[in-house]
Amino acid sequence: MEKLKTLAAQVSNWGRWGADDERGTTNFITPDVVRRGAACVRRGKVFSLGLSFGSDGPQIGQGGRVNPQHFMSALHGSYGPNPEGFHYNDDVVVMPLQCATQWDSLAHVYYGGKLYNGYPEASVSSTGAAKNAIDKQANGIVSRGVLLDVARAAGVERLPPGRVITADDFAAAEKEQGVRVESGDVLLIRTGHITVFTKDGNREVYMRQMPGLGFASVPWLHERQVAAVATDTNAVEVIPFEDPSTPLPIHLLCIRDMGLTLGEMFYLEDLAADCAADGVWEFFFTAPPLKVSGGVGSPLNPLAVK
Ligand code: UVW
């Protein structure tokens, strides 16, 4: 916990955008940044970075999270006399907001009784988050996206579970790819770990152990003024944790101290293959959360447009 507190003091953004801010680092996405993102559209090629929301999703029941349950609430329904055979179908989905590709809101994790920007833990109740809820990010998240393929830069198809990603990995990927992460960018980090689920079908390993960010990556994210970070794993950070006595330290530092929105279970394989083929690692990125009132997360279908 000492290490976490030292780093927290170094990277805290509390008060940076005012005492009433609930958006954190997405404030780095200025109109100029959005224009820089839009200027990345050259070929008009669109990539979906979302997993499907279905009963065959990645969840294994951990922490009460299950895969979506989809019901037909109207099946071949009709209204009154129906000579032309008009029918309609409606459906209902019941699912945890965190069950597949998602943003974590700034109300998702906290310590010391305080959420991002000093809001009290009691601001989250059984009715949801009165502060830092995901709908506070409703005008985005739209920016320039940059993909750093840390697995490729390390010369492997995928990083193994437990592999700690550091600022050196970011530097190596930037050098190899000829790209630089700038203020306001959304940073996508490919580890390749998602193929443990999508190719191998091994949900247990995909969900319980993973490569990911370690303590040493956090000051870099702060210095570069990254607007949001997403990876292809379930937790963004490395599991097993670097210090077993401090679980989820990167969540705590990023979300609670920096106000940095985290994206999880992003499907980056097709985008990464295309970037490797054309040598262009930047794109227009859009992943607006659903406006779930008081929600602490949102399911997503993020898009990258090149
Ligand atoms: C937790 O496990 C608390 O969070 P996440 O799903 O964001 O990894």
Q: What is the pLDDT of residue 83?
A: 79
Q: Which two tokens mark 233?
A: 């794993």
Give me the residues of the chain with pLDDT under 70, please. none
Q: What is the pLDDT of residue 164?
A: 98
Of ligand 1's listed atoms, the one at least distance from the Cα of 65 is: 6
Q: Which domains does the chain have, with CATH numbers?
A: 2-65+96-305 (3.50.30.50)
Residue 124 sits at φ, ψ, to 5 deg, of -105, 125
Of ligand 1's listed atoms, the one at least distance from the Cα of 109 is: 3
Ligand 1 centre distance from Cα of residue 36 (Å): 31
Whether the predicted model's global pTM rises above the 0.95 cut: yes
Of ligand 1's listed atoms, the one at least distance from the Cα of 98 is: 6
Q: What is the pLDDT of residue 191?
A: 98
Q: What is the pLDDT of residue 81?
A: 81
Owner of token pair 């700034």: 106
Using one digit for the tens of pLDDT, what is the confidence trace for 113-126?
999 999 999 999 99
Q: What is the pLDDT of residue 80?
A: 80
Q: Whose CA is nearest to atom 6 of ligand 1?
A: 235
Ligand 1 binding site (Cβ under 6 Å of any ligand atom): 98, 104, 108-109, 234-235, 248, 264
**What's the first-to-final CA gap in the chain, in angstroms?**
42
Q: Report the C-alpha gap between 173 and 4 in whole angstroms.
A: 26
User: Could you tell which of 234, 250, 256 is best to mutate to test the pocket of ligand 1, judged by most ligand atoms within 8 Å of the CB?
Assistant: 234
Q: Which two tokens mark 121?
A: 């833990």
Using one digit for the tens of pLDDT, what is the confidence trace for 172-201?
999 999 999 999 999 999 999 999 999 999
Collapsing DSSP states into helix, strand and coil, what is residue 67? coil
